[in-house]
Structures are given as C-alpha cells and as structure tokens.
A and B are shown apart, each in its own frame.
With several copies, the nearest count.
Chain A
Amino acid sequence: MVVKPLTGNYAAAYAAKLARVKVVAAYPITPQTTIVEKLAQFIDNGEMDAEMIRVESEHSALAAAYGAASGGVRAFTATSSHGLLYMHEMVWWVAGARVPLVMVIVTRTIGPPWNIWSDHSDLMDQRDSGWIIMMAEHNQEVLDETIKMFKITEDPRVFLPGMVGLDAFILSHTTEPVDLPGQELVDSFLPPRRQPYIMKAGDPILMGNVPRDLHDNMRMREDIHKSLEEAKKVIQEVDEEWYKLTGRRYGGLIECYRCEDADHFIIGMGAWVGDMREAADRLREKGIRVGVIKVRYVRPFPREELLKWLTNAKSVIVFDRGVSAGSAGQLFLDVAAHLMAAGVRVPVKNVLAGVTGLDVTYEDIADAVLKSVAEVEETGRFSTFIEWYYGR
C-alpha cells in the first residue's frame, strides 16, 4: 500500500487496473478523458494485461464493454454527460441483460449550452435503468468504490451493472493523496469473475428474444428491482470486508456526519458533501444542530437507512445538483417520496444549487441552511419547498 497524489480520474483508472479488468472500451469526453488516457497508457506500456477497444462513440463503448462482459471477462468503461446520454439505450440494455460491469461517470451538466462543469443531472438521469448508482465524495472513495463495485455487481445476489460517479473537476481533476492498495490485497478481496451466464461457442443460449408470456418479462423487471433491494445488504457486507483489509469504511449506502443529536438534516451526494460537513460544523458553532447525510448509493435507494435518521428530524433539506424540470430535484423526489410512503411527518425542502456547475462554498451551504432552518424553527414549516440558490 502506497500513498500517491492522484486526481479522481487517475484513482478510477488505477482501480480498474487493480481489479484486473480485461477489456476497456471507452470514448473520450471532457472531463472523463484522463481516465481513458491513463488506462491506454497502462495497457500500451504493458503494465496492464487488457484489451483496449478504442470505439467510435459512447453507444459503442458500452456496447463493446457489454459484449466482452457477456463473453465472460471483467469489463470497464467511463463517460460523462452527453456521452452518457448518447449511450442511454445501452445503459438500459445492460441492466436488462443482467450483465455485471462497472462504469465510472464523471458527472457533468447537460447542454446546450456546451458546459463541462459538474452537476448531477447526467448520472441521475440513469436512475430508472436498473443500475447500481453511487457517488463518491473524494478520490480515495473513487478508488475504493470502483474496486468494490466489481465485487458488488458480480455478487450472485445482485448480478447487475454499477456506476461510480465523481464530480467533474471538483474530483476528476483535483489531486490529493490516495492510498493505493497493493495488487495482492485487491486480489484477495476480489474473487474471480462471476456472472449469471456466459456467451460461448458450443453452448447455445439465446439472450433477449421475445418472451412468449409477458408475465415472465414483468418478473424480470421485478427481479431487477428486487435484486437492487438485495444489493443493499451486499453493499454493506462489501464495505465491511474492505474495511477489514484497508481500515477504510464508509457506512454502506449512506454516511452520516454528526447526525446523532441533529435536529436538522442536510442531504446531498458527491464532492460537496465535504463542504456540507464544514458547513455543519460552522452552523453548530452557531448553536444549530445540523447533521449531514451523504447519500452514497442512490440506487438502490437507501430508504431504510434514511428513515432511521429522519423519522424524528425537525427538518430535512435536500441539496440537489440537478432538477427534474417541471417537478423538483431528483434526489429530493426520491427522499421526499420515501418519507411520504413511510408516513414520516417532517418539513422537507429542496435547495437547487450548483446546477450547471456553479461553484458552491461551505459558506453558501451554511447560508442556505441557516435561512431555511430559521424559517422552520419559527413557523414549523417551509413556505416554499423548492429554492434555486445562486450563492450569497
């Protein structure tokens, strides 16, 4: 184990290498590009024993990774924003086919106008598709979770593909020290590839032909949903296993910061959770008991985990870096819906900030929270449930 200053993108590339990925298929797009470049370098230099398929588009990137994974080897790809949207059909397909593979998403907003900065609309746009979807807070988590994602996706209780998200530039191009586990450690952690079926010559199976009985098809869809529910346990277990080997754990689906005695909860995902922690500390200095819940896995949605903390909250503020236009922030919709379904009664509010990539500081977060909390303390509720926050 050595510590190396790495960007988030390089952390992802190292993770793919350490997971002994056999086929990389990817197409460049800012800000994902350096992941692909690094992997190309590993492979071209002989440091990594894998095939690189230098495809002509993202649709083909995921298609080629999927073909390789269907054929029985570990496969990897990465993309961002328009690349992710361009492969959207394949995203659904891979989940429907139940083929485990790992894709890193460097989150970036969607155009027009062209804009390379981070928000979460691209990643969240995939949330219906049946993939496991997580978002990292820092580069160490990018590395750890990319490796772990192989184990999670290949677990027979899961057998679904997985995405690891990291914020454009805020992580992807930011260098910080990363603890790089040794190959032996990773080998001891990751079992040989497992998958529900392998396409191979002489073994005649047909994947994807039209079902005679639609009940079978609906059961497939339900099984994807149920397998995501089962994945909750797997994610937790894998977090513990990794902890035993490395001393690092993240709490599974969500991670809490100063939640034990919190009245008010901020919920968010990705890199700005770091700034939320800072904001919480500052607010506590002012006597406001704020807790931060970092949603690590948004699919499966951590319903039970959130309920545990939020049932007796005084207020819940969900920070979204993306919006389902004409409704509300994507994360908010999930959080609020599941609170509702569980019959929890707590004022909820959605702050839309950093959308299209605006820089958000911990002061901004503290400011937005402060105002909201003041209102809820005074009136017991939020007068508007959605706020577009542009900074102080």
Chain B
Amino acid sequence: MVEIRFHGRGGQGAVTAANILVSVAYKSGLWGQAFPFFGAERRGAPVMAFARISNRRIRVRSMIRYPDIVVVLDPMLPKLVDVLKGLKPDGVVVANAPRKPDYVKGHEVYYVNASKIALDLNLVLAGWPLVNTAMLGALAKVLGFDIGVVEEAIKEYIGGERGEVNASAARRAYEEVVRCV
C-alpha cells in the first residue's frame, strides 16, 4: 500500500487531485482511497489531502501519519508548513518547483514546474495557476501509472474543454517531471 499526502492551498484543488487518483488506480486494476483533511477550508490557507493505493481493497481508514509520498502543489508552502512531517525515510517528494527544491534533504525528489504549465495552458483562477492536474501527471510518473489512463480519468472528472486542457497539463507534467536524489 502506498500512502500519499498532498499539500496545497484552499481553492487549489488538492482534494480533486486525490479523488482523480482513486479513479486512475481503479482503472489500473488497483484500489484507491482519498480523503481531505477536513476543516474550515479557507481560500489561500494551507490544506492537505490524502490518498492510499493498494492492490487489494483498502480497509484501514485512519489518518495517514507516515506517508510514502508527499505532493507539494504550492512552491511557497514549504516555507509555511512542515511538508516533510512524518514522511518515511525512504519516502518521495513530488514538488511543483522550477528547479530542485532546496527544502528537501535526504529524500528522493521529483519536481516539475507545474505553475508554468498551468499558466501556459491558461489554467488560472483569480490570478492563480491551477496546478492540481499537472501535479497528478507528475505523480503518475512516480507511481508508474499509464498517463493515458490519467488523462481519461481527468476528462471523466472534469468534462468538456476544461477536461481536455487539464488532461494535457497532466501529460506535460508527466513528460517534464525530473527525478533527483
């Protein structure tokens, strides 16, 4: 079982990303589970979402305290919250960053400039790049999912033209994501 924690900001779609991941997992013959850290989710406020992926039906339902993967949607967040908290020693960070993020020490890192991808594709809400689907593409790479499946899941979830654009954001990130240790 892989346990994943997403860090984002209220309004950025971290929960959506986690939910779509469940779809991707199921389409890939796996089981998935996604849940938000619920609270008063204020716009701009740091928020979290969680997901589990497993090859059999997942029955545990407690919070994820020691994730295998941490996904950081907003490059500013690591300054504000401890995104690495509880990350397993062999855990992985998937970061939205233009270059290797310096806040990670001693963990495997995948990074991709998701903000740029979003801006390029005009995925913007109130001046804000919407990076969640791009980050999902990057995560798919880390988890070894077929990006075609990810695109399909995104399009099912979002629908219409916006679904298409989000799907290509995911694909671009999938292709551009850089691994380093």
When each residue 44-61 of chain B gets 1 if its CB lies under 8 Å from chain A and 0 otherwise, what string results?
000000000000001111
Query: Is A271 located at the chain interface by the 8 A CB criterion?
Result: yes
When each residue 267-293 of chain A gets 1 if its CB lies under 8 Å from chain B and 0 otherwise, what string results?
000011011011000000000000000
Q: Of residues B31, B38, B60, which shows the largest number of chain A Cβ atoms within 10 Å of its Cβ?
A: B60
Shortest beta-carbon distance from B43 to chain A in Å: 18
When each residue 24-35 of chain B gets 1 if its CB lies under 8 Å from chain A and 0 otherwise, what string results?
001000011111
Interchain CB contact under 8 A, A275 and B33 = no
Stretch at the interface among B15-23, B96-104, B122-130: B15-23
Which residues of A have CB within 8 Å of B81? none
Interchain CB contact under 8 A, B62 and A359 = yes
Interface residues, chain B, with chain A CB atoms under 8 Å away: 18-19, 22-23, 26, 31-36, 38, 58-63, 65
In this complex, what residue of B is CB-closest to A257?
B59
- How big is chain A's contact interface, by range? 20 to 34
In this complex, what residue of B is CB-closest to A170?
B61
Q: A138-B59, A361-B63, A361-B65 are in contact. List 18 more A-B contacts (CB 8 A).
A: A3-B26, A5-B26, A116-B38, A169-B35, A170-B35, A170-B61, A171-B61, A174-B61, A175-B33, A176-B22, A176-B32, A177-B22, A271-B61, A274-B58, A274-B60, A275-B59, A275-B61, A278-B59
- Counting from the closest, the 3 A-B pairs by CB-CB distance are A274-B59, A361-B62, A174-B35
Known: A116-B38, A175-B22, A177-B22. A5 touches B32 (CB 8 A): yes
Which residues of A have CB within 8 Å of B34? 5, 174-176
Query: Is A157 located at the chain interface by the 8 A CB criterion?
Result: no
What's the A-B contact tally at a CB cutoff of 8 Å? 63
Interchain CB contact under 8 A, A278 and B60 = yes
Query: Is A194 located at the chain interface by the 8 A CB criterion?
Result: no
Interface residues, chain A, with chain B CB atoms under 8 Å away: 3, 5, 31, 116, 138, 169-171, 173-177, 271-272, 274-275, 277-278, 359-362, 364
Known: A3-B26, A5-B19, A5-B23. A175 touches B59 (CB 8 A): no
Known: A5-B23, A5-B26. A173 touches B62 (CB 8 A): no
Known: A31-B38, A116-B38, A169-B35. A5 touches B59 (CB 8 A): no
Which residues of B have CB within 8 Å of A364? 62
Q: Of residues B31, B35, B62, B63, which shows the largest number of chain A Cβ atoms within 10 Å of its Cβ?
A: B62
Interchain CB contact under 8 A, B31 and A177 = yes
Which residues of A have CB within 8 Å of B59? 138, 274-275, 277-278
Interchain CB contact under 8 A, B63 and A359 = yes
Which residues of A have CB within 8 Å of B18? 175
Which residues of B have CB within 8 Å of A169? 35-36, 38
